[in-house]
């Protein structure tokens, strides 16, 4: 076989070099959520890499339904990357495979319209997204999901499930362009506002700036920034993701800050990989690598910096659920736990399978609702077994998914972003 053979003229097809790093040892299988639920090799990391290889070799077409099905059922949670002793970069492989599928299977006019609306009109435009989120939350509060379910239509049920994921209220972010450090300055950073964070979890963005400022960090908020493109890349929309990445790089590169702070794990993981995303663009590759080197998750930055003063007491039994794109995508594990350990009175209990995806995974709970629900039920059962009244995490998708699962199970446990908890803790102090 010739190594130059690539069945489809698509720069984002999985490369032979990445595919060949897998030695098929199977050590990743126990950590794969879809393998845990479905128990079949083709829904394991090793099985999916084998499928990519058969497509690369031209033995199976990239638009074969079985290829699309098993690549589509992957969460892109990257737990297999953490488990793999051979350094397989699975996230890059699966996103390239999705791009490859998209390039050859020609989406229907309806799917193209949905992709354009979501990826071009909604996510990159925070005001449009904020208006959409406010309307959706109002529809949820007006019991629209109950009406939709009563319609007995499949689309109605799906729409109801999506509305039920939303929080009780959406807050758009309105912030000063500079939030000064309190006391002696220990750092200067820029805050990445994000699309969902900026239009639904605006309070968390404000809390992030407050907690950083309280710890001696000056926070800059630049306006021309846009969505990070993570959801686009996960859905195979690499060119759309690249366009957003270029806009963010241009927005932040002139700022004299030591770090770009991100409080959504999925965004941070994507932004740390801008160098890879734009590696074939000579005008942007070096700028993207320089940008990526400055990206830090808010918990990572604060954990490394250390809290200047202890926060106030929060007396509750809590668990920490690792967002996949923080733990597996960014390998940030110790810092969030160190921050939680600094909160007096917090009874931090162990959570079984804290490193396993909750089923949110970008748009996975929309595109694969049955599998997402199975994983969510597993997560909720583990939380309930822990006896926790508070679940702490650090990603908007996980927050909404786990809160919806707990509500559905009749639990009153609250789900909170770690930064919001620190902010509450400071105020309690
Ligand atoms: S990314 Fe997650 S779901 Fe996909 S193969 Fe790896 S462990 Fe399994
Ligand atoms: S991805 Fe890594 S752990 Fe999994 S089978 Fe391949 S080499 Fe082994």
Are 297 and 317 part of one and the same domain? no
Report yes or no on 214 lying in a domain.
yes
Sheet containing 178-179: order of strands? 178-179, 217-220, 187-192, 259-262, 295-297
Report yes or no on 366 lying in a domain.
yes
Are 84 and 141 part of one and the same domain? no
Report which ligand 1 atom has the smallest distance to the Cα of 357: 2
Ligand 1 neighbours by CB, cut-off 6 Å: 31-34, 45, 48, 74-80, 90
Average pLDDT over residues 102-127: 89
Q: Could you say which of 270, 303, 336 is where a domain stops?
A: 303
Nearest CA to ligand 2 atom 3: 84
Report which ligand 2 atom has the smallest distance to the Cα of 27: 3
Q: Could you say which of 303, 328, 355 is where a domain stops?
A: 303
Ligand 2 centre distance from Cα of residue 241 (Å): 27
Are 334 and 411 part of one and the same domain? yes
* pLDDT given at position 11: 62
Report yes or no on 171 lying in a domain.
no
Are 132 and 208 part of one and the same domain? no
Are 60 and 48 part of one and the same domain? yes
Report which ligand 1 atom has the smallest distance to the Cα of 76: 1
Ligand 1 centre distance from Cα of residue 253 (Å): 33
Are 206 and 246 part of one and the same domain? yes
Ligand 2 centre distance from Cα of residue 90 (Å): 9
* pLDDT given at position 10: 53
Local confidence band at 361 (pLDDT 50, 70, 90 cut-offs): very high
Average pLDDT over residues 178-198: 95
* pLDDT given at position 6: 40
Q: Could you say which of 105, 131, 152 is where a domain stops?
A: 105
Report yes or no on 66 lying in a domain.
yes
On the question of pLDDT at 333 being above 80, the answer is: yes
pLDDT digits (tens, 9 = 90+) for 37-69: 999 999 999 999 999 999 999 999 998 999 999
Local confidence band at 8 (pLDDT 50, 70, 90 cut-offs): very low
Ligand 2 neighbours by CB, cut-off 6 Å: 22-28, 45-46, 49, 80, 83-84, 86, 88
Domain that holds residue 218: 178-303
On the question of pLDDT at 360 being above 80, the answer is: yes
Are 158 and 83 part of one and the same domain? no
On the question of pLDDT at 381 being above 70, the answer is: yes
Local confidence band at 378 (pLDDT 50, 70, 90 cut-offs): very high
Of 217-221, 236-240, 416-420, the poorest mean pLDDT is in: 236-240
Nearest CA to ligand 2 atom 8: 25
Average pLDDT over residues 372-394: 98
Residue to probe by mutation, ligand 1, list 22, 26, 33, 364, most atoms within 8 Å of CB: 33
pLDDT digits (tens, 9 = 90+) for 272-312: 999 999 999 999 999 999 999 999 999 999 999 999 988 99
Ligand 1 centre distance from Cα of residue 167 (Å): 27
Across 8-22, 157-171, 376-390, which has the greatest mean pLDDT? 376-390
On the question of pLDDT at 2 being above 80, the answer is: no
* pLDDT given at position 370: 94
Are 74 and 113 part of one and the same domain? no
Local confidence band at 4 (pLDDT 50, 70, 90 cut-offs): very low
Nearest CA to ligand 1 atom 5: 45
Report yes or no on 290 lying in a domain.
yes
Ligand 1 centre distance from Cα of residue 33 (Å): 7
Report yes or no on 173 lying in a domain.
no
- CATH classification at residue 238: 1.20.1050
Q: How many domains does the chain have?
A: 4
């Amino acid at each position: 076989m010739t190594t130059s053979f690539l069945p489809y003229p698509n720069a984002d097809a999985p490369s032979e070099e990445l595919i060949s790093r897998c030695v098929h040892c199977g050590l990743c299988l126990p950590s794969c959520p879809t393998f845990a639920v479905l128990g079949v090799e083709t829904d394991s990391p090793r099985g999916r890499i084998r499928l990519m290889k058969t497509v690369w070799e031209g033995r199976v077409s990239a638009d074969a339904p079985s290829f699309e099905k098993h690549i589509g059922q992957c969460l892109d949670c990257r737990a297999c990357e953490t488990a793999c002793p051979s350094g397989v970069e699975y996230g890059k492989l699966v996103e390239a495979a999705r791009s490859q599928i998209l390039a050859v299977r020609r989406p229907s006019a309806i799917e193209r319209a949905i992709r354009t609306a979501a990826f071009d009109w909604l996510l990159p435009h925070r005001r449009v997204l904020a208006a959409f989120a406010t309307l959706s939350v109002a529809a949820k509060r007006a019991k629209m999901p109950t009406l939709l379910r009563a319609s007995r239509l499949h689309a109605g049920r799906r729409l109801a499930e999506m509305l039920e994921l939303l929080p009780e209220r959406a807050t758009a972010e309105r912030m000063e362009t500079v939030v000064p450090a309190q006391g002696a300055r220990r750092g200067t950073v820029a805050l990445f506002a994000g699309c969902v964070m900026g239009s639904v979890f605006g309070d968390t963005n404000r809390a992030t700036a407050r907690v950083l400022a309280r710890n001696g960090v000056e926070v800059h908020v630049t306006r021309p920034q846009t969505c990070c493109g993570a959801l686009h890349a996960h859905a195979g929309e690499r060119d759309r993701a690249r366009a957003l990445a270029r806009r963010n790089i241009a927005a932040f590169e002139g700022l004299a800050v030591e770090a770009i702070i991100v409080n959504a794990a999925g965004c941070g993981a994507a932004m740390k990989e801008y160098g890879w995303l734009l590696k074939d663009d000579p005008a942007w590759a070096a700028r993207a690598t320089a940008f990526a080197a400055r990206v830090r998750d808010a918990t990572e930055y604060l954990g490394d910096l250390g809290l200047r003063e202890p926060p106030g007491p929060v007396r509750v039994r809590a668990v920490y659920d690792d967002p996949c794109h923080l733990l597996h995508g960014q390998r940030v594990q110790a810092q969030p736990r160190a921050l939680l350990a600094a909160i007096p009175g917090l009874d931090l209990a162990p959570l079984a399978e804290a490193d396993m995806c909750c089923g949110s995974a970008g748009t996975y709970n929309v595109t694969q609702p049955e599998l997402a629900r199975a994983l969510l039920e597993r997560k909720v059962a583990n939380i309930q077994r822990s006896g926790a009244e508070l679940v702490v995490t650090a990603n908007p998708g996980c927050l909404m998914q786990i809160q919806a699962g707990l509500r559905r199970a009749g639990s009153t446990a609250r789900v909170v972003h770690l930064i919001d908890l620190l902010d509450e803790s400071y105020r309690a102090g």
